[in-house]
Amino acid sequence: MKNTPIIFCHYGNSNYLKYVFECVRISNPKKEIILLGDKSNKKVAQSCGVSHFNLSDFDSSPDIEIFDKFYQLIETKGFDSVKHGEDWNKFVFRKWFILNNFLIQNKIEKFWHFDSDNMIFSDLLPFESLYSELDCTEQCEGNCMKGLFNNQEIIARYVKKINEVFMCKKTMEQKSKEMANLEGNACFNEMSVYGIFKKDEKFSAIRLNEIRDGASFDDLICRSHGLKMEKLPHGEDVKVVFFNPDGRFFCQEEESKKPVMMHALNLSWVPLYTFSETLKHFKKNHKKPNSAFDANSKTLSQVSIPLKQRFKKYRKYIKLKLKKMTKKK
């Protein structure tokens, strides 16, 4: 197995996977890209040149048995925990145990790991020497480990902390009370435990979305993080993303208006066409020589929405209206 592979973990055949895999395959042609997945996403992974391993082959260990015994879903009333027929919040915790087992069995010490909805446009190799002194990097506004991991031990320590937290009756009771007082769509998740992990443990990490040499890794497209925002045609809030003629993507600082080249975009919570259109632009233009930032280039909000997805949005709107009318009767 090649050094410093890029590893994704995902269950189910989400419709954006093909765009993510094709994009990272283009931007990192010399790296091994791995999906810890299931039978439903094996075909799409292999068609994009991604090595596929079954999650189920690495989900057996004493640590996982402890986790399965003590895990509990702590959520607000409005939280929807089901995705592809499973408790996805449980999977987000469980994947760290599976990943740890995979790393140990394959003797992988150093690797990259991103959520499966991150479009990666830059070669990741130059960042490995830049961040070589760290244990790991962070995303999610500093609330989760993502990006580069320089040692497997940090994962082993994190899964140990996950079990410690869920086994602590006092902590679980406290978190349950806190969640009961919240409204909206929220739960006790991996970021919650990572906060405890950072407080209790000593390790070195920095956020990937820091702007370095005029460039950054996006933390989340629908949050500003000091960059200019706009709305997509159907109302979703997103960063202003410029489709530069050379195939690169730029945002702009809110105050200084300075351009920021994006090594990656985290497209969580935005429509499917944003994946397809960014990939289309990247594929068509990425071999062109770098050119200056063009503030007149189109932005993500100006991308045409496919008819199929327009109708899908309208169907949801009509369905919601009919539901409200039925309730009134």
Average of per-residue pLDDT across 52-80: 93
Backbone angles phi, psi at 113, to 5 degrees: -145, 120
Percent of the chain with pLDDT over 70: 92
Average pLDDT of the chain? 92
Predicted confidence at residue 71, as pLDDT, reads 95
* Cα gap 168→193, rounded to integer Å: 12
What is the CA angle 175-181-184, rounded to 5?
Answer: 100
Structure-derived torsion over alpha carbons of residues 268, 273, 279, 283, reported in degrees to the nearest 10: -170
pLDDT tens for each residue of 248-263: 999 999 999 999 999 9
Q: In the CATH scheme, what is the code of domain 6-207?
A: 3.90.550
The per-residue pLDDT for range 186-212, each reduced to its tens digit, is: 899 999 999 999 999 999 999 999 999
One-letter amino acid for residue 219 of the chain? D
Q: Summarize pLDDT for 304-318 with one digit per residue, the tens.
A: 888 776 655 555 555
CA distance 174 to 143: 20
Q: Which two tokens stand for residue 289?
A: 């020589």
pLDDT of 6 over the 60 cut:
yes
pLDDT in tens, 133-142: 999 999 999 9
Strand 33-37 with 6-9, pairing: parallel
Pair 109, 4: CB distance under 8 Å: no
The span from the CA of 69 to the CA of 61, in Å, is 13
As a whole number of angstroms, the distance between CA 189 and CA 241 comes to: 29
Amino acid of residue 244? N
Give residue for tokens 């109708």: 311
Check residue 304 and give its pLDDT. Answer: 85
Please, which residues bridge with residue 145 across strands?
A: 138
Q: How many CA atoms lie within 13 A of 283 on its CB side?
A: 13
The pLDDT value recorded for residue 179 is 85
Contacts of residue 34, defined as CB under 8 A and 6 or more positions apart, other chains included, come to 5, 6, 7, 8, 50, 51, 52, 53
For 172, other C-beta atoms within 10 Å of its C-beta total 16
The per-residue pLDDT for range 132-189, each reduced to its tens digit, is 999 999 999 999 999 999 999 999 999 999 999 999 999 999 989 888 888 778 899 9
Helix axes 169-180, 153-167, angle to 10 degrees: 80
Domain boundaries defined on the chain: 6-207, 215-316
pLDDT tens digits for 99-121? 999 999 999 999 999 999 999 99
